[in-house]
């Protein structure tokens, strides 16, 4: 299961014609695994508006859909930025998830309600909140961001494997976030810091090589 993060205008600077569908195809080709990627609500062609509970429900629904295939024996989660954090949270809540790889994941979404309101303004500017009258309950929407504690859920991932990859020069999410999540998962976590890398690890070939290598060690069937 491959999950994206929040869209950014700067993402167009990445490799032309390369994105999550292309990465899904590469993972499938090199591991022999079935790979599903999708758009969270409020992004791409998906309707709706962003809320943390909504994105968590979207990921849970996608996992259920993937499991409907008789060829799927185990589900592994891969996510970038917010998608990486939500993948960690999903694994913490679902013990049947086999393992998680998270790239540049934030350790929290908001520190307090005022921080959450700033996050809402950012979500509107990015276009993931499209409806003028959404959310209907601003306080409840913001509370979801404050109450979710990814570090606590990361602590529930062991003994399953957790790969966290972070850029040393990440301009969006501090490296300390990655260290905090890795420490919570203790011996199950493998933290890799890429020298000179920023936030958009989807376009960093070193990050993708780490992901393929991680699958090779844990699945043993890459080609």
Q: How confident is the model over 183-220, as pLDDT tens digits?
A: 999 878 999 999 999 999 999 999 999 999 999 998 86
pLDDT for the residue 146: 95
pLDDT tens-digit readout, 18-62: 699 999 999 999 988 899 999 999 998 899 999 999 999 999 999
> Domain range spanning residue 213?
2-219
Distance CA 101, CA 73 (A): 18
Q: What is the CATH number of the domain that holds 194?
A: 3.40.50.1820
* DSSP class of 203: G
Sheet with strand 2-3: strands edge to edge? 2-3, 75-80, 97-103, 162-167, 189-194
Our count of domains for the chain comes to: 1
Residue 105 burial class via C-beta count within 10 angstroms: exposed 0-12, middle 13-18, buried 19 and up: buried
Q: How confident is the model at residue 78 (pLDDT cuts 50, 70, 90)?
A: very high
Give the three-class secondary structure for 101: strand
Alpha helices in the chain (DSSP H): 20-31, 52-67, 82-93, 113-126, 138-147, 150-154, 175-185, 205-219
């Amino acid at each position: 299961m491959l999950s994206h993060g929040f869209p950014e205008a700067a993402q167009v600077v990445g490799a032309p014609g390369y994105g999550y569908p292309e990465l899904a195809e590469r993972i499938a080709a090199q591991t022999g695994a079935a790979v599903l990627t999708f758009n969270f609500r409020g992004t791409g062609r998906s309707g709706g508006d962003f809320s943390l509970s909504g994105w968590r429900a979207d990921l849970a629904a996608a996992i259920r859909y993937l499991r409907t295939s008789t060829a799927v024996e185990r589900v592994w989660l891969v996510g970038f930025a917010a998608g990486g954090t939500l993948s960690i949270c999903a694994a913490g809540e679902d013990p049947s998830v086999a393992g998680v790889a998270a790239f540049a994941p934030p350790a929290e979404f908001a520190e307090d309600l005022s921080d959450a309101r700033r996050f809402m303004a950012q979500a509107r500017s990015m276009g993931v909140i499209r409806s003028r009258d959404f959310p209907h309950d601003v306080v409840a929407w913001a509370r979801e961001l404050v109450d979710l504690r990814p570090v606590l859920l990361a602590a529930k991932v062991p003994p399953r494997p957790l790969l966290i990859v972070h850029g040393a020069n990440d301009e969006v999410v501090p490296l300390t976030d990655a260290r905090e999540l890795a420490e919570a998962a203790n011996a199950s976590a493998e933290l890799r810091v890429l020298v000179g890398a920023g936030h958009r690890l989807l376009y960093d070939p070193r990050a993708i090589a780490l992901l393929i290598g991680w699958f090779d060690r844990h699945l043993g069937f890459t080609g």
